[in-house]
Amino acid sequence: MKINKTVILLVLFILTVLYPGQRVKSQSSTIKINITNIKSLNGEIKAILWNSSVGFPKEKDRYYKRTKQKVNNDTIEICFDNIPFGDYAISFFQDENENMEFDRNRWKRTSEPFGLSGKPDFEKRPVKFDDCKFTVNKAKMEIHIPMLYIEDVQQLLQEQ
């Protein structure tokens, strides 16, 4: 007995509609950043999530996502939602005078506190994406990053 191709295709289509199986969920995450060691309650934390080394960490127009939050405690939580799985880096600074700039002194050293994910090598100029990157591979991620001040960076340089 010869079975018609059309009948087979029709049966397969009906089975697919009746038993679709599990729907594939896109793999995304919520990243919660706990920023600690905040010494001043002035201004806002401006945080940037990067998904590429292109522009990291200075070219603010090449970021993946950004957010800001008023400083009201010595520890702050910042969240990035609906982040696809992959490699990312985080940079942030405390804009204490709310001038929308990462201020530097006349010697080009930072005069406002900042933070970076990962373990950046402060001897390299500039800091590299690969030193700061982390992999997002689960639905909820929590990262702890201390706020750094110029004296912290100087101490880290002496230890390296």
pLDDT by position in tens, the chain (length 160): 556 666 565 655 665 656 555 444 568 999 999 999 999 999 999 999 999 999 998 887 899 999 999 999 999 999 999 999 999 999 999 988 776 676 566 666 666 889 999 988 777 677 899 999 999 999 999 999 999 987 777 676 676 6
Strand 114-116 relative to strand 86-95: parallel, antiparallel, unpaired?
antiparallel
d(CA 117, CA 149): 15
Output the pTM of the full model. 0.77
Tokens 């490699």, residue located: 87
Other beta carbons within 10 angstroms of residue 4's beta carbon come to 8
Structural element, H or E, at residue 15: helix 5-18
Q: Please tell me the CATH code under which domain 25-159 is placed.
A: 2.60.40
The pLDDT of residue 112: 85
d(CA 150, CA 148): 7
The pLDDT of residue 19: 59
The pLDDT of residue 104: 63
Sorted by sequence, the CB contacts under 8 Å of residue 82 that are 6+ apart come out as 28, 30
**Residue extents of the structural domains in the chain:** 25-159
